[in-house]
Amino acid sequence: MPQAPIFDPAKKWQNFHQTYLQIVEGTWDLHLPRLAADGATSMEDLKETTRQFQALIAEARAKNLPLRAVGSRWSLSKAPTTSGWALNTNRLRGRMKVAAADLDPAYPGTADQKSGLYLFQCGNTVADVNKVIEAKSQQRALFTSGAANGQTIVGATACGTHGSALDFGALHDHIVALHLIATGDRHYWIERKSRRVMGDAWIARLGAKPMREDDDLFNAAVVSFGSFGIIHAVVLETAPRYLLETNPQTLKLDENLWKAIGALDFSAHPFFAGKGRPYFFQAVINPSNDEVLISANYRKDCPADYVPTYGLMQKDGALGPGFDSLSLAGVILDHFKGLIPRFGKAAAASLFDTNARTGTPGEIYGYKAPQLHVASGSIAVALPDARRTLETLIQLYKDIGPVPLVLGCRYTRRTPALLAFNRFDIGLMISIDGIDSAHSRAFFAAAADRLEAQGIAYTQHWGKSNAYTADRVKAAYGGNVAKWRAARRQVLPGDSDRALFDNSYIAERGLAG
Amino acid sequence: MRKRHLFVLTASLATGGCMQYLVQPPAPSLAGSPHEVTANSYLGSELQQPPYVLAKKCVDGEQLARVIVKRDFGQGLLSWITFGLVAPATVVYECANVDEPGLGNTSGGAR
């Protein structure tokens, strides 16, 4: 007998990093049914979980309670919050290899892509995905990754996590199909018309309604922060397994380095001499001085017998910041601004890896020491605006005084998702990371105003602290907002259907209703 | 300046009264939400209330993924003024996913 969902009536719900508290009407914990005798994830598991989700949606609707699925509670924004029931999905870690026999004949993937498709249930973390596909038996890898691995794959992608590879889009660009549970009696299998993946027979066995008459519905649902219903599972395309070699160094910010940071021109600075264009490039600018922590990761072949090892490491007896050290640091720095540059340097060292390493993407973008009360927001701009944007933010830093934040620069390609953070052909994604404090919050609040005053087009990360308003969302996405809302009405046609998945986060951004 | 000194003194006192230990494996796999239990230790741990902190929310064979033992300023102060005879603390635990589910195959069976 599968385990039924278990209700926890606790009213207080906090995100993982404890940057906010949300009052809910309780949390339902769902469990992986594990109905197959051999323990492998089966179609029956997917159907039973679907049935449980639908029963909870129907019950919530009967009680007039909103609800949302939540995974790792990783978001620093309130995107995943609800005032009703939270459905905890982090035990739903079913995973399947997609069999060639189940593919749609129209799937346009290459032979390699056909052999590298996986279905993951919503509770799998990015760490889980890496462990599964990077195993010696699978020999696959993600094309790109966020800096952390604790988010669920659905939580990270639904909030538009941008990734970090120079020639790939966002993390959600791995997804080619998704299973959406929208109401108590309707669930959908959504793909792009231009990239059909699963065969009709398989979708019929699942009992889902196929939705692939156009690309817009998929492009809307894939970045919808839980607003379209519950994304129960996703199918990912993967890359052949590879290694990344990284050797971070701290450099002075001079004109040659600006060419790399501001224009991805790696020809001028000696750091890149003889190595060429990296697969992944990151520059962490400390605005309190002219130091930049550079990471250029180069792609290498991965030996077939390579066995990745994952997990946090520390030396016995090492001294470092505690789990909750940043909350006190934030209070101290609000009163002693003179200490901020020193703390900024320490925070950068704590938040970003500085050791030379070689490993799979899952090893390189692996476990981080957990820390509460981090401050993090991200802004994306087009590459031609990169230097001007960074100089504007550095000037803002100087204008409002030292702030315990650093500017992490990463670069990605545009994605087709309608409300994608990766909105620009080549985008600079500026991750503003540090310690939660009054000064940090003032910086976040002023950053968007300052870019607008400079006439710089930008987007903001949906899953991090952001200053989006309805007007700013319209300015960033134009006609895509109407398309996104129309797509939402396709899967949630009734006002009351949509009200279940509305929350204050999307209401404040003009996306509810 | 006096205000600053007062703040530093308060912060020192507050941090002196607080402590927090996090125990977790190198690669935790969290199941469910964090659960908080208030525990009291009496007479230098001769008595404990509850006698042991039972992770009741870990079901179906789940073990523990993470335990945080913490003491806020009030709890620390009480422990200090009673010379440890009354030592309250808050224990936060999170369950661990039982194991890695087997990799299935959309056509059925394991792969």
Residues A123-156 have pLDDT tens digits of 999 999 999 999 999 999 999 988 889 999 999 9
Minimum mean pLDDT range among A218-227, A296-305, A313-322 = A313-322
Helices marked H in A223-292 — which ranges?
255-263
Query: What angle do the packed helices A480-491 and A470-477 form, to 10 degrees?
Result: 110
Residues A353 and A364: their CA atoms lie apart, in Å, by: 9
By C-alpha distance, the chain A residue nearest B100 is A93
Interchain pair B4, A335: CB under 8 A: yes
CB contact set of A240 (below 8 Å; sequence gap of 6+): A112, A116, A139, A140, A141
Residue type, A293: L
Q: A301's torsion region: left (phi>0), alpha (psi -120 to 50) or beta?
A: beta
In this predicted structure, the answer to whether residue A328 has a pLDDT above a threshold of 70 is no
For range B28-57, the mean pLDDT:
92
What token pair was written down for A64? 């007039």
Interchain pair A328, B107: CB under 8 A: no
pTM for the structure as a whole: 0.93
Count Cβ neighbours within 10 Å for each residue of A284-305 and write b for 16 or more, e otherwise: bbbbbeebbbbbbbbeeebeee
> What distances in angstroms separate CA A138 from CA A45, A141, A145, A186, A304, one per listed residue?
22, 9, 18, 34, 10
Q: Which residue has the tokens 């006609």?
A: A479
Helix, strand or coil, per DSSP, at residue B54: coil
Which chain B residues touch A328 with a CB distance below 8 Å?
11, 14-15
Q: Which of B4, B20, B63, B103 to mutate to test the interface with A (most CBs of A within 10 A)?
A: B103
**Burial of residue B6, with CB atoms counted within 10 A of its CB: 0-12 exposed, 13-18 middle, 19 or more buried:** exposed
Picking from B60, B103, B109, the nearest residue to A95 by CB comes out as B103
Residues of B with CB under 8 A from a CB of A: 4, 7, 11, 14-15, 20, 22, 24-27, 29-34, 57, 59-60, 68, 70, 97, 100-111
Residues A397 and A386: their CA atoms lie apart, in Å, by: 17
Count Cβ neighbours within 10 Å for each residue of A264-275 and write b for 16 or more, e otherwise: bebebbeebeee
By C-alpha distance, the chain B residue nearest A201 is B107
Element (H, E) at A233: strand A230-237
For range A52-57, the mean pLDDT:
98
DSSP state of A511: -
A5-43 residue pLDDT tens: 999 999 999 999 888 999 999 999 999 999 998 989 999
A83-112 residue pLDDT tens: 999 999 999 999 999 999 999 999 999 999
Interchain pair B104, A336: CB under 8 A: no
Picking from A10, A43, A97, the nearest residue to B111 by CB comes out as A97
What ipTM goes with this model?
0.90
Interchain pair B106, A370: CB under 8 A: no
